[in-house]
Structure 1
Amino acid sequence: MDWRSAIKGFQAYLKLEKSLADNSVEAYSRDIEKLFQYSDNKEVKLKPESVTLNDLREFITWAAELGMIPSSQARILSGIKAFYKYLLMEDIIKSDPSELLESPQIRRKLPDTLSYEDIEKLIAAIDLSKPEGTRNKAILETLYGSGLRVSELTELKLSNLYLDIEFIKVTGKGNKERLVPIGGAAIRALKIWIENLRVHVPIKKGEEDIVFLNRRGTRLSRVYVFLMIKELVGLTGLKKTVSPHTFRHSFATHLVEGGADLRAVQEMLGHESITTTEIYTHLNREYLKSTISQFHPRS
């Protein structure tokens, strides 16, 4: 099988069988394109089914020599493993050359977080005299009150709000749905926006069920949410790099610091693997270490 046919089939598999978003399919495809590029530059051209474990190891070395950092190498390896799993399922290969391929060691970077006081300052900086101020307050309260990704926030639907029982239904990565509890402050802010201000927005056709709308009646872009938060950070003088994801990290960190069960946090965040959620236990240890350093008399 030639590389173009294999990549095309792989894309169809990711989209139709794995239900991945277009951006994820493109990212996986780029990873396999790099492997194709490497194989095409060899003296003896490799086909997808003739690639060996040693070829893959040489490819990773080649990628590292080009200056690719370990985290990027690990991401490419993830794409390669998915590609060869697909080829194996389709009986194009009889054994998986990527099975014994080891990922490079990555030092996991702890995400930036906000303190509760930081979050209070950002929310207090919102100008509630403007209609969008009420909406923006509901956005920040929802990000912090339920740990949503920014894409999950912009796609949030009225029909998926169960505020009477303090839950919202969220569509996450791979179109997977999950129920997430939502805090009282977020519920109050959402009700004020929906019942008092959203009702006056001239809503465009097809956007009737979207929670957060702009003044033209269409859903907000992810970029708008980033810029709105950046502006608030400037107003408060906060010396931190803050994005919508920072609120998600803060949500998880404060839960873990408060003693929440890691499995429950995993469920709320929509992490497929518990290892992704475990970063917050490391963050919690950093918090404990800093507390000891600051307050223990022998430190």
Structure 2
Amino acid sequence: MDRLYREAEVATEKYDGAKEQADRAARRLNALRDEAARRTDRLDSAREALGSAAAAQYRGGGIDPSVQLLLSSDPGRYLDNAAFAERVDSRQAAAVARVRAQLREIERLRGAARVELASLTSKQAELRRQKRTVTEKLSEARRLLSRLTGSQRAELTGAAGAGRTSRSAGRGVLGAVSASEAAAEAPDGRAAAAVAYAYGKLGSPYVWGATGPDAFDCSGLVQAAYHSAGVSLPRTTYAQIGAGRRVPRSALLPGDLVFFYSGVSHVGIYVGNGQMIHAPNPSAPVRLAPIDEMPFAGATRVV
């Protein structure tokens, strides 16, 4: 079951990352389409103005300018009008150049939109692949869980109840640090606020892909905790480990992010005394746990 949950969590982090990228691609695609639509409206207006000017020229043309000068009853006025017409022609040439530039820009935007659409389609396919992987791993884990005896299931989930009790029990179960003690030892107010948020979510269910407020996966809990403190963190464990200053295990303080496994596929929030709060897996809710229960991969202090 541990192996299946780890494999599901790896796929969950990949799913979370693909979803984040797909959401960004969708926003960029919509923005490109909106901008192309606005420029197309402006282009249509410019074309209409050029068409009107061309029609007026056609109606007023047909006689050679030198003949018009000879036949004019007021040659001076004719010459003034001709100079004005040349200026109009110059402005029209500039208008035509602007229309051509608008056409090129619209085509560029449409090309960029096609690229974003291809990217979005690729990310959506990746989402479907990772979702299938997560679903298969969790289904297999549930089948294993259903074959456990009642006492085995109690042993598996017993630490979760201990985590919930520790919210008000101070240094009771597992030698856990209380919420107030952890906040007091945090390096700054943001870390203290994130720790307080995490304590407030003890007992919340694990749901893969969830970022709260009522359910979480491991990186979703970390992101939500720091969001409550006004800090924007990336969505996945792979990105979160680079979102601050790396600190050695010996220098951990409450609020530090602690990462596990060689692929950095799990994360928790350190709260002191060798303990963290994390969202373990679907068989156990958000809980307090010792950081040495999993292979330690590194730690980051959010700055």
Q: TM-score range by the shorter chain?
A: under 0.3
Q: Whose strand proportion is higher, 1 or 2?
A: 2
Which structure: larger Rg? Answer: 2
Q: Whose helix proportion is higher, 1 or 2?
A: 2
Higher RCO (C-alpha under 8 Å, 6+ residues apart) = 2
TM superposition score normalised by structure 1: 0.25
TM superposition score normalised by structure 2: 0.25
